[in-house]
Structure 1
Amino acid sequence: MSELASTGWTIKRTDAMVELILSHEEIVAAEFGESVVAGMAFDTSELDAEADIPAEIVKRARVVIVEVRTDRPASLRRLTRLHNENRALVIIAAVRDPSITAMQALLRAGINDVVALPLTRRDLEAALERIRSELERGTSEETARGKTISIIKSVGGVGATALLSQAAALYAQREGERGRTACLLDLDLQGGNAATHLGVNPDLTVSDLLDAGKRLDPAVLTSVAATHSSGLSLFGAPNELMPTDAVGTDQVCDIVHLAMTQYGTVFLDLPSDWTNWSLSLVAQSDIVFLVIELSIASLRQAQRQLSLLTKLGVSPDAVQVVVNRVEKQMFKQINLRDASETLGKPIGLSVTSDFALMNTALNRGTMIRDIKSKSAIGRDLGKMLDAIDMLLERGG
């Protein structure tokens, strides 16, 4: 044991790769027993939740589990500073009863995971198992990760999944020409139809990834993927309805994070109703497409969606509104300018309404361009792909 000035104490082990930093109260309340968990030894340091973390601790660590008090600005600043000054460090935040907003703030601060306080051996082991797999696969922050594109709907029935399916397949082909890969995870657990829209009938689905638990690894991920003719790897929605609130945030985030290590671009089709895990995924996405239509109900709900995204801290530049099923009529009750003014946001993407063409593609389970090589919808989808390229290049 060695002193840390007058702020607390630490227990050091020569084989430790994990640093556990908790206040006195949380150390007393913790139940993790031995100093080796999930095959990794860890040091334990007692520090107040706002106290500066000595450089000697950070220097020797590969993983830091640090207490964060979300009601204390100084504690949050400490976490942000720890991440900004140590980009290669794997950071796990230990928090008591975090709210959804607090959870998003922590994820945006650059941490890798969150564990609940008081700390238990089971939770600690689960977190370290996930981190150990990352370390073994070499997917720490020095390793490039794929980009994530989430599709959300203002209201159900706006055709978001149909658009996503077509756009993802087209983008996968574009990425293939660049020597890169893309996948689509259909996480609409109750209404997902991406596989059907693309004429794919997968033997395994997202539910098999959820069931894998700790067995989830690149081999399991690959075994579940169904390959579309465009080169897109498709992970279909469950064959049977699943309650969205029965799925844990860690479960879904583990799947998406693993997909990001295996594919250059990861498309996510999310449920219409918000869940803790869908909020978390959207907050971490590089691009969020909000699909709307020109109706009062859709615009009102889109306003609420945009307000929520702002509260979550999602960059306005990352959120792109896509107006679907735009009819070319001389006189319309609501036009694109009206929609832009209502939402207080420029709308640069729209998709022309062509019910016959889209419906034929969906019923056949094929791509629009295979039915009609040149069409207004095809042109508009091309603009979506160009927007993805531009936004991802701008975001680095």
Structure 2
Amino acid sequence: MTTRILPAVGDPDAARSVTTLLSQLPDAEPAPPVADSTQLVDTLARLAAASLDELPEVVLVHERIGPVPALELVREVALRFPAVGVVLITADAGPGLFSAAMDSGARGLVTLPLGYEELASRVQAAAQWSAGVRRHLGTGPDRAAGPGGTVVTVSGAKGGVGTTVAAVHLALAARASGRSVALVDLDLQSGDVASYLDVQFRRSVADLAAITDISPRVLQDAVYVHETGLSLLLSPAEGERGEEVTDRAARQVVSALRGRHEVVVVDCGSRLDGAGAAVIEMADTALLVTTPDVVAVRAAKRTVRMWERLQVRKAEETITLVNRQHRSSEIQPPLVQKITGTRVAGVSVPANFKELQAVVDAGRLHELDAKSTVKQALWALAGELGLVRATRAAGQPGKQLARSGGDRGSLGLRRRTGGR
């Protein structure tokens, strides 16, 4: 995806510095800098009048822009052109300015003197946010075509087996390969997607439950576009509101998301209710997560049998993921397959919680190191399930996708090295 960038920099020396760094970003299309706030707003207004698709994905506002002060300009651009991601360039990296910039509508700050890595990271995050907003407005390049995207449900044999970690990283892997992805937290009473991704957002799937016709605008209001580019539909903060989400509502919500995303990953938790059953039934792929211990494998078997009794899913149509696997475990994947009657995924996730602990405690699961064996296994699983683009996943999907992860994401913003 090409990212169009419009710098607003009044100082000629600063403009040259910004332009030089932007020219090094792959998949970036920087426009000539505009010299003042009036020229910036006029340029954006002219482009928007032609078509919303003509607007740049990212606008860079230098702190010394004039005549309108930088924060006021950020606020005006964010209000008038909500599909544009605004990044402020400033020498003040303090929490006060950061908070003020976020309140004004900025999607990030880049500190002076400019550095390639920081600029690339902030541009990428703003571009992904912009793409998500445009997708929900129905104008972006990621609009799903045809009958809709792929729906994958992730369920736990019991609590604590790693269901949400698996769901989040399957979604991140699909997004990093260039797909438009929605991640739904349908663990209605105790969902943790928001905690794992450091999100505070008051809207949830429960707000869509009573709506009979979910329009793109209504869907946009309920979805949170994460800095990774994922579209998040969260579980309600008040667990009792989960009862509002009926099986009919769940089907309608997931169908609406499927119509606008190439991949929809649904975290169903470990407790089966009507909403979860409806989505598991309609899913293209149903993944059941277990750990290689007697209690969890027995729970997995009970879950599969219950799905069959309720005619939700046949055992042979279910894929089981063995999480926290170790070569010394007495229970190995072939035995899990025999006990449950399901197909066990070719990828098992190794037992290595130390890799996860820091990012889980910080609520930054998306920042898990690319070298993590847990991340590599889950991203390889995404390739096995067909959630990533073939061009990105060719050869060694786990390793290639892991390299495109972390803060750089799907844009792959790396310093050019002259072909080396």
- TM-score of the alignment, normalized to the shorter chain, above 0.5: yes
Q: Decide whether aligned partners of structure 1 residues 313 and 198 sit closer, same or farther in structure 2, where only a CA change above 3 A counts.
A: closer
Q: Decide whether aligned partners of structure 1 residues 241 and 163 sit closer, same or farther in structure 2, where only a CA change above 3 A counts.
A: same
Give the alignment of 1:1-396 within 5 angstroms: 143-174=146-177, 176=178, 180-211=179-210, 213-214=211-212, 216-242=214-240, 244-311=242-309, 312=311, 314=313, 316=315, 318-329=317-328, 332-347=329-344, 348-367=346-365, 370-389=367-386
Q: What do residues 170-225 of structure 1 show as CA deviations (whole Å, max 9, x unaligned)?
A: 21221x2xxx41101111111101121112222322222225x2363211111221
- How many angstroms apart in 2 are the aligned matches of 1:215 and 1:299? 41
- How many angstroms apart in 1 are the aligned matches of 2:275 and 2:381? 26
Greater relative contact order: 1 or 2 (C-alpha under 8 angstroms, separation 6 or more)? 2
Equivalent residue number for residue 71 of structure 1:
none
Q: Decide whether aligned partners of structure 1 residues 341 and 392 sit closer, same or farther in structure 2, where only a CA change above 3 A counts.
A: farther
- Higher fraction of strand: 1
- How many angstroms apart in 2 are the aligned matches of 1:161 and 1:284? 20
- How many angstroms apart in 2 are the aligned matches of 1:371 and 1:281? 29
- How many angstroms apart in 1 are the aligned matches of 2:289 and 2:173? 18
- How many angstroms apart in 1 are the aligned matches of 2:257 and 2:342? 31
CA positional deviation for 1:366: 2.1
SS in 2 for 1:320: strand
Asked whether the 8 Å contact 1:286–1:392 carries over to 2, the reply is: no
CA positional deviation for 1:241: 1.0
- How many angstroms apart in 1 are the aligned matches of 2:317 and 2:389? 9
- How many angstroms apart in 2 are the aligned matches of 1:158 and 1:173? 25
SS in 1 for 2:191: coil
Q: What do residues 328-362 of structure 1 show as CA deviations (whole Å, max 9, x unaligned)?
A: 43xx3323333233223442231111111112121
CA positional deviation for 1:299: 1.1
Letter in 2 for 1:272: S
- How many angstroms apart in 2 are the aligned matches of 1:214 and 1:363? 38
- How many angstroms apart in 2 are the aligned matches of 1:358 and 1:184? 20
CA positional deviation for 1:254: 1.3
- How many angstroms apart in 2 are the aligned matches of 1:391 and 1:300? 32
Q: Decide whether aligned partners of structure 1 residues 351 and 202 sit closer, same or farther in structure 2, where only a CA change above 3 A counts.
A: same
- How many angstroms apart in 2 are the aligned matches of 1:390 and 1:371? 19
Equivalent residue number for residue 4 of structure 1:
none
Q: What do residues 125-156 of structure 1 show as CA deviations (whole Å, max 9, x unaligned)?
A: xxxxxxxxxxxxxxxxx942121111111111
Q: Decide whether aligned partners of structure 1 residues 372 and 248 sit closer, same or farther in structure 2, where only a CA change above 3 A counts.
A: closer
Structure 1-normalised TM-score?
0.57
Structure 1 unaligned blocks of 5 or more: 1-141
SS in 1 for 2:206: helix
Equivalent residue number for residue 135 of structure 1:
none
Structure 2 unaligned blocks of 5 or more: 1-144, 391-420
- How many angstroms apart in 2 are the aligned matches of 1:268 and 1:346? 20
CA positional deviation for 1:245: 4.4
CA positional deviation for 1:292: 0.4
Q: Decide whether aligned partners of structure 1 residues 274 and 345 sit closer, same or farther in structure 2, where only a CA change above 3 A counts.
A: closer
Asked whether the 8 Å contact 1:244–1:275 carries over to 2, the reply is: no
